[in-house]
Structure 1
Amino acid sequence: MTVRTARRPRAVAPWVRTRLRAAPGAAVALAVLVAVTAFLAAALPLAVDRYGDAGLRRAMEVAGPGRTTVQLYTSHANVIVPQETREAELRRDAARGPYDRILAQAGRALPLDTDQSSYGVRTTRRLEVPDPWLSRPDGVSPQFHLVAQNGLAGHSRLRAGRLPKAPDDVTAATTAVEAAVSSDTARKLNIEVGSVLHVPGVERAPLTVRVTGVVEPRAPREAYWSTTPVLRGPHLTTRPDDPSRNRFWVGALLLPPDAGPALLGTGGVPERYWMLAPEASALHGHDLPELKSAVASLEAGPLLRRAGTAASSTLLAETSLDDVFGEYAGLRAAIGPVVAVAAFGTGTVAAVVLLMAGSLAAGRRRAELTLLRARGASLRGLTGRLLAETAVVTVPAAALGLAAARLTVPGARLPYAVAAAGAVALLACAALPLRAVAAHRAVRVHAARDDIASARPSRRRTVAELTLLALAVGAVVTLRTRGAGDGGAASGDELVSLAPVLVGVIAALVLVRLHPLPLRGLARPAARLRGVVGPLSLARAGRTPESAVLPLLALLTALTTAAFGGSVLTGVADARDRAATVAVGADARVEGLRALPSELAGKVRRAPGVREVTAVSVAYYSYPSDGRLTVPVAGVDPVGYAALTRHTGIGTFDAAELEASAAPGSGALPALASPTVADRYGTRPFPVRLDTGGSITVRIVAVRERTPVLAGQEFLLVDRSGLPGDSARPTALLVTGDRPDAGALREAAGGAARVQLRTERLAGFVDSPLQSGAERVYIAAVAAGAGYAVLALLLTLLRAAPERAALLARLRTMGLTRAQGRRLLVLESLPQALLAAAGGILTAWAAVRLLSPGIDLTTIAVSASSSPAGRAALRTDPVSLVVPALAVVALTVGISAAQAWWSGRRGSVRELRAGDAR
């Protein structure tokens, strides 16, 4: 008979709960660190998506419906079509029938605004209407487009009369139709309800158009009215072949949709059309490749063929939407790598801080883990328990950070944010177990001394460091070659964004290796000093642990990112200011098409904020020598204009060179020219015929790249007193002063001139959410990187705090005063602080110099590929280099002094016991 004995239950201590209860403060601190880091990591891709979408929508808004709407139309050029067929094609049903199918096919690839999309029939040529009662500014008859577009009732409000109607039997022989006009057209062309216009016919009597209603557009800036702006209001224009430049009105008559066949009786060459207006609010920057592909397909691809099957085999497409997308893509391509520099830099610093937090926890529990290993704990079991312990804290904290980021930045893609928060959680979970495995791989009781001044790194570590150093140097050399050759940053290569990190890795490895050399060299001379603080602090500085490479890397990367960001922001601000100054030519500019009134200069001079007014006469279409090429000629007062060039820093010159009296008896006016004009005409005198009718002879005596009054690449500058007759009358006033009052200047100018202000032009350069959003993200990233750098510094000092406190307690028992203790800790921390500061300045300078050939700030500064002031290059900003480095030194000294003061308030017995226990 077998007797079973009851097994005693094994007492299993709940490891995770026990460890969290044993150190709740450390667990809470780790949770806060992970939550904040996960929030920042998840918020970055969300913010980038959000400002990218806003930038694309602003690009669409600035471009306007005239460029963004896709226009499909039938073309019958060089095709003979029977009259009955043409009449049938221009009826309402022929345009309405294919509309739904075209809209459905295109809408699957390109989001469309069905409310603002439209279809109809229109004339492709303007038709001159000779009725004498119509408005004629210079005696020329106005011209009209005849448009029969759907949806007029839903997109307008009736101001007078009624909407036009058309019978069902309209043909090319119809002699009378009804139409409506916009209120702006009615006001400017003297049209009212009941007016009758006679549109010339082709081999028949004129088409009589009776105006039955005046309408007001409900949304005049939307695609329905603004794809063809003449629908909402007329504009003045001139004929290219008219030497008198007589102006005339061009307007539109809005016919009912069923009146299309009547247009065949005119010379307007009518056609069917379909306007596809994109839905800007549904466009996303990350979908740009698909959007560009859809537009290309609509212009000349499968979508156009399908639309042609539904509408007509002669269907053509026209749009500038692909150009708008291309301009946006160029701006985003220029901004993206610059923002990525901050993202990679801050991400590296944050990762280092998480690793340092794990290392600090492993160091704090070193005795515990050593004892567990000595009692038989396996590496796998120890790693699993530490991983579970940290996962309980970090995973919920990372989830909380992700949720906070989602609430803070809604409406963007979530997968990248989840991946970023997950990476933070994974790194935070792995930091402690990996550090513990590395430290306790072998079972030992006592640890060896870990001083950089005495320890000799292992061969394995040396090989690893040399390998990493070689990879970093190779990447930097590759980046330098790419940056100098093909634009580097503009290509969006991640290698560009990693440049500060790569340079920081190189600097950290080199500086940590070189740091012991001066300490060893100073140790012996310092030992002969009379005082105890100096030699002791130097000896203490030499006992910095070898793991100092991590905090040094964090500080160097943070300093480099901050300096790079400061250089970028300073360069962008300088480029914008310079571009605004070059574009306006002064602090303000008052300019007219013709000569300005003689009393205007005095009125402008009396405006608030105005200090000086420089009068300039400009003849934009002057013909030098052979008369085949035009060159703008500006007549200036040499003394006043020279002072203006010195104020603006644009094309400075000596006033004596330009004065008419500088060449007595030669008959030629001294002239300042652009390089292009100087190369073309040389230094010999040559005649110039001004567009005002006079003629002068000039001789080029000076060459400048730019001049304030003329922003082009070709110009001539002469003394205004040497110009004949009316040519000397000023056409522009260049104003300098301390923020001239815009309202006062415009009131003084009245309707005689146009006023431009440098401050307004400067503000106009920052109108893209892509620019402003990228700047905000960069500033936030740099600020976060600075915060993590401070945290890395605190963790470094916190790791040594117990041992320092015990040291001060021992030294106080031997007679060390509190003041000497403060000096000891401050002097001990200075070598590391100075090392980080000097290394940070050097690393930041190297990173900026490395990236400068490949980064063009022009697009970021002015939202265009070119600037009036030329290319905006990246340059080092001394303030951004020095100030963060000095802040590191000051913070280190302050923390050390605070620690010494706090240690002095506590009893020596407690610190000695704590130190002995450690």
Structure 2
Amino acid sequence: MPRHDPGAPWVRTRLRTAPTAAVALGVLVLLTAFLAALLPRAVESYESRALREAIAAAPPDSTVLEMTAPQPGLEMTQDAREEALRPKALAAVQDAALSRLPAPLRADPAESAYGVRTGKSLTAEDTYLPRPDGVPPRFTLAAQSGLAAHATVRQGRLPVVEAPVAQGAREIEAAVTVETARTLKLRAGSTLTLSGFPAGTLTVRITGILEPRRPQGSYWSAQPVLRTPDLAYIAAKPPLFYWEAGLLLAPDAAPALLGSQGQPEKYWRFAPATGQLTAPDAPTLVERVASLEGGPDLLRMRDVAGPTAQLSTGLEKVLGTYTTTRAAIAPVVAVAAFGIAAVAAVVLVMAGGLAAARRDTELALLRARGGSLRGIAGRLLAETAVVVLPAAGCGLLLAMLAVDRARLLPSLLGSAAVALLACGTLPVRAVVAHRRPRAHRERDDLAHARPGGRRTVAELTLLVLAVGSVAALRRRGTADAGDLLVSAAPVLVGLVAALILVRLYPLPLRWAARPAARLRGVVGFLSLARAGRAPAAVAALPLLALLTALTTAAFGGSVLAGVADARDRAALLATGADARVATADGTPLPAAVTRAVRDVPGVRKVTGVRVERATYGGEENTVTVVGVEPDSYAGLAREAGLGAFAADVLKGGGPAASPAVASPGVAERLGREPRRIVTPDGAVTVRITAVRPRTPAVPDGDFLLVDAAALPGGPTVLLATGTGLETKALRRAAKGLDVTLRGEERAALSDAPLQTGAERIYGWTVAAGAGYAVLALVLSLLRAAPERAALLARLRTLGLTTRQGRRLLGLEALPQALLAAGGGVAAGWATVLLLAPGIDLDRLALPGAGAAQGAALRADGWSLLVPALATVLLAGAVAVAQAWWAGRRTPITHLRAGDMR
């Protein structure tokens, strides 16, 4: 016969008796498990996206892997040397090399190529070609595979080889790109005479003009000279410039390059495929690239490409930049992750503790009737696991559906930790509370509770940990994502604040209860007495959860505020105003442009300045001089917060010297005595009357401000301010001039995947912290709902009115809500104040930030006050709702609750 399971009737009975509590626990576990499983997947997802974008956005010539081998040596026969350069032999090496690329490196076949090229450009002797400084142009010749698939013929045809080309050929065909043809005045049918060949010269006939289909792809941009001519120079005094360009040969024409002074070489180019790369691949990628450049993988490549083959790439620099940025951001994200994990854990423990407190009488009765601790714990574990395990599994599944293409193990561990904590809290709490059977429960009123020695030791230990974590964070900063002591600093500060408030909570209750007892009404006294009669253990858990959640939300909101401030500041420093209009060469702006910009919708004020370079004390000493209209420009500097000064500082100059405002560096070099500076339009004598660190016209460098009356000529830069600027209208008014918008600069700082992903994590932290705070408050209020309803029914039979009953429940919930709100504001402010010196927000706020950029953590008023006020309002709303619900039922219904007669 099958063995009877005595736990099944218990579980079934409990679920039928308290279905609402089971559903609430399941929802809590599902949401928490979802967050625990989603967080590592979200972090890995944005880090992987950042890795792929870092490689894709980098210049192809710095990410492509290029393997080269010199032309075959003279120890081979001429036929063998020519065969080694033909497409069939090169393609065989390409296929073999592709199969030997070590994982996770993968090549994109569409953008990869192979062929033969001249390692050194060859001089063209034709006199009709452009010669900037009288130096003839030079050409790089490349017989590259896949030309037809990557270019569109705009004129003529592709180069072909009608008869086998051998070393010493006198004439071959080639094609050039549209840009090369336009720059060097070439067309289909043009001929070029190149020197440096065994036969003397080589005639190259241009058969076609090509338009690259993906000009920014690796095929064309890995060696940009094949696509776009470049001005090179000969090191001389002065430098002599000449054109460098590329000629695209037919692949079968490669043997014609043998023996030339162009040092021909074979090459195989592998464009990295980024579609399958993930963040955990980054360390392996660095190792594989190093091995390909000078390790075992290079030896395997030489087995197919020859013993002299070399592989080079700039991919390790791209990966290094990505790794450095991720390493700088990850510890800051770890602080947020640790905070929300601690809040979730505290709320789960609180939920289990409140459930144990609600069932205290039932469990005490079981112990009094001979129930063993093991049996009670097993049954509680069984009834909890039936609800928790499916909920945790659903949370994990939802996280996997929300974010795909991430590792399963971290998410599985996160959801398993949530399930373990949710399953174990109720049994452990019950075993600890009912170690010995008791006939009755001693009073444990919050207002009269005296903490024991064990609690004091635990609190002191937590205080020491909090002090150590704050000291470590301020000293070491967020340099290591695995430093748990540093990551736990905000949470530990919040926990210490919560424990302090729990100890202080009884004091105001005692102080307020005495005068309230002398009042004529009973509502005030009863509410304070009820708040003080709450069990200490039950009252401490909600306060602990609320303070931790509010502190985490305040810290996360402050981080987001600091990031936003840093980006706003960086965008302002890039423009100096809301919009900046300037000419590319620094020439004066037409007067019509100034009038048109003023008429653009949204423009409130336009300030014109003249920016030019001046010298002093010799040609080698230069300074940026800015001619401004004092009143208008002083107002702009004051509004922008960039070196505000009084307009009178620039006024009142005489023929001896013009007043000037300088940056600290310029003031140090020029001094305060009158100095003569030479501008392109003449000499000016200036005297520095004020020093400011920045100014809108030159927000990121040294400057010297003078009255525009001292500089002849019109403005070269327009600085416009206003709200709701119409971008298209402004660019139309600028008529092709350089336009820089503060809003666009600000948006560009928010597009980097690493920064955006980390910022989103902090946004979730704020939302989740506020949500858990609300949940903790609601759970604590709902736990006592039946008791409050019964109390209200008894008091109503004694003459308490409905309005008084609502006031009673509201005032009873108010002390805890006010304490949590005030404590949350204070703890959040103190956390930010203590931890600000150790939190580095530069890399999080500004993509590519190197040295300190001034992104500082500051307390954000909205993040501190909004959750706290919401806590108070919600507590009042729940209390009023409870009173309203209790008022719908008759007092006799509440008083006979549980009576089976």
Q: TM-score, normalised by structure 2?
A: 0.92
**Could you tell me whether the CA contact under 8 Å between 2:557 and 2:762 is conserved in 1?**
no
Select 1:73's aligned residue among 68, 88, 93.
68
Aligned to 2:690: 702
**Could you tell me whether the CA contact under 8 Å between 1:490 and 1:854 is conserved in 2?**
no
Cα pair distance change 1:411/1:822, threshold 3 Å? same
Q: Mapping of 1:27-46 within 5 angstroms? A: 27-46=22-41
For residue 265 of structure 2, give the secondary structure of its aligned residue in structure 1.
Answer: strand
Q: Mapping of 1:756-835 within 5 angstroms? A: 756-835=740-819
2:725 matches 1:730: no
Select 2:673's aligned residue among 643, 660, 684.
684
1: distance between equivalents of 2:26 and 2:66? 56
**1:507 positional shift:** 1.1
Aligned to 1:3: none
Aligned to 2:265: 271
2: distance between equivalents of 1:898 and 1:350? 26
2:643 matches 1:626: no
Cα pair distance change 1:639/1:309, threshold 3 Å? farther
Aligned to 1:560: 551
2:165 matches 1:182: no
**1:793 positional shift:** 0.7
**1:844 positional shift:** 0.7
Cα pair distance change 1:355/1:712, threshold 3 Å? closer
Cα pair distance change 1:313/1:218, threshold 3 Å? same
Letter in 1 for 2:457: V
Aligned to 2:54: 59
**Could you tell me whether the CA contact under 8 Å between 1:672 and 1:718 is conserved in 2?**
yes
Letter in 1 for 2:707: D
**Could you tell me whether the CA contact under 8 Å between 1:167 and 1:258 is conserved in 2?**
no
Q: Mapping of 1:539-554 within 5 angstroms? A: 539-547=529-537, 548-554=539-545
For residue 214 of structure 1, give the secondary structure of its aligned residue in structure 2.
Answer: strand
For residue 345 of structure 1, give the secondary structure of its aligned residue in structure 2.
Answer: helix
Letter in 2 for 1:876: A
Aligned to 1:229: 224
**Could you tell me whether the CA contact under 8 Å between 2:70 and 2:308 is conserved in 1?**
yes
Letter in 2 for 1:637: E
Select 2:501's aligned residue among 511, 515, 520.
511
**Could you tell me whether the CA contact under 8 Å between 1:66 and 1:227 is conserved in 2?**
yes
1: distance between equivalents of 2:867 and 2:705? 47
**1:408 positional shift:** 1.8
State which drifts further: 123-132 or 469-478: 123-132
For residue 154 of structure 1, give the secondary structure of its aligned residue in structure 2.
Answer: helix
Aligned to 2:663: 674
2:868 matches 1:885: yes
Q: Mapping of 1:365-404 within 5 angstroms? A: 365-404=359-398
2: distance between equivalents of 1:550 and 1:338? 28
2: distance between equivalents of 1:623 and 1:438? 82
Letter in 2 for 1:284: T
Aligned to 1:201: 196
**Could you tell me whether the CA contact under 8 Å between 1:387 and 1:432 is conserved in 2?**
yes
2:16 matches 1:21: yes
2:289 matches 1:295: yes
2:636 matches 1:644: yes
Q: Mapping of 1:440-459 within 5 angstroms? A: 440-459=434-453
Select 1:613's aligned residue among 606, 615, 622.
606
1:530-587 per-residue CA deviation (whole Å, 9 max, x = no partner) reads: 3222222222221222122221121112111221222122222222122111101221
2: distance between equivalents of 1:175 and 1:763? 57
1:439-463 per-residue CA deviation (whole Å, 9 max, x = no partner) reads: 2111113111121222333333333
1:847-887 per-residue CA deviation (whole Å, 9 max, x = no partner) reads: 212321122322222212149x9321111111211121111
**Could you tell me whether the CA contact under 8 Å between 1:111 and 1:283 is conserved in 2?**
no
Letter in 2 for 1:670: P
**Could you tell me whether the CA contact under 8 Å between 2:466 and 2:489 is conserved in 1?**
no
2: distance between equivalents of 1:238 and 1:743? 40
Select 1:858's aligned residue among 842, 848, 871.
842
**Could you tell me whether the CA contact under 8 Å between 1:193 and 1:211 is conserved in 2?**
yes
2: distance between equivalents of 1:428 and 1:533? 38
Letter in 2 for 1:906: R
Cα pair distance change 1:490/1:672, threshold 3 Å? farther
**Could you tell me whether the CA contact under 8 Å between 2:554 and 2:766 is conserved in 1?**
no
Q: Mapping of 1:136-285 within 5 angstroms? A: 142-166=137-161, 170=165, 173-201=168-196, 205-234=200-229, 250-263=244-257, 268-285=262-279
For residue 740 of structure 1, give the secondary structure of its aligned residue in structure 2.
Answer: coil
Select 2:587's aligned residue among 592, 595, 604.
595
Aligned to 1:847: 831
2: distance between equivalents of 1:750 and 1:83? 64
Cα pair distance change 1:531/1:345, threshold 3 Å? same
**1:31 positional shift:** 1.9
1: distance between equivalents of 2:167 and 2:626? 56
2: distance between equivalents of 1:28 and 1:443? 31
Select 2:455's aligned residue among 458, 461, 467.
461
User: Any stretches of 5+ residues in structure 2 without a counterpart?
Assistant: none
Select 2:576's aligned residue among 570, 579, 585.
585
State which drifts further: 228-237 or 812-821: 228-237
**1:416 positional shift:** 1.0
Cα pair distance change 1:523/1:735, threshold 3 Å? closer
For residue 177 of structure 1, give the secondary structure of its aligned residue in structure 2.
Answer: strand
Cα pair distance change 1:353/1:594, threshold 3 Å? closer
**1:597 positional shift:** 4.5
Q: Matched residue pairs, number?
A: 894
**1:12 positional shift:** 8.7
Letter in 2 for 1:443: P
> What is the identity percentage for the equivalent residue pairs of Structure 1 and Structure 2?
56
**Could you tell me whether the CA contact under 8 Å between 2:594 and 2:718 is conserved in 1?**
yes
1: distance between equivalents of 2:544 and 2:398? 29
1:664-712 per-residue CA deviation (whole Å, 9 max, x = no partner) reads: 242x44333222222233223444344x474444433332222222244
For residue 200 of structure 1, give the secondary structure of its aligned residue in structure 2.
Answer: strand
Q: Mapping of 1:387-426 within 5 angstroms? A: 387-426=381-420
1: distance between equivalents of 2:616 and 2:66? 44
State which drifts further: 837-846 or 494-503: 494-503
Letter in 2 for 1:835: L
Letter in 2 for 1:757: L
Letter in 2 for 1:733: L
State which drifts further: 203-212 or 588-597: 203-212
For residue 721 of structure 2, give the secondary structure of its aligned residue in structure 1.
Answer: strand
Select 1:572's aligned residue among 563, 577, 584.
563
**Could you tell me whether the CA contact under 8 Å between 2:475 and 2:838 is conserved in 1?**
no
Q: Mapping of 1:88-99 within 5 angstroms? A: 95-96=90-91, 98-99=93-94
Aligned to 1:655: 647
1:749-793 per-residue CA deviation (whole Å, 9 max, x = no partner) reads: 334x21111111111111222222333332233222222221111
1: distance between equivalents of 2:109 and 2:314? 19
1: distance between equivalents of 2:416 and 2:95? 45
**Could you tell me whether the CA contact under 8 Å between 2:138 and 2:243 is conserved in 1?**
yes
Aligned to 1:719: 707
**1:179 positional shift:** 1.0
Cα pair distance change 1:870/1:784, threshold 3 Å? closer
Q: Mapping of 1:474-513 within 5 angstroms? A: 474-482=468-476, 487-488=477-478, 493-513=483-503
1: distance between equivalents of 2:339 and 2:8? 42
2:353 matches 1:359: yes
CA RMSD of aligned residues (A): 3.2
Cα pair distance change 1:152/1:107, threshold 3 Å? farther
Letter in 2 for 1:859: R
2: distance between equivalents of 1:452 and 1:112? 68
For residue 589 of structure 1, give the secondary structure of its aligned residue in structure 2.
Answer: strand
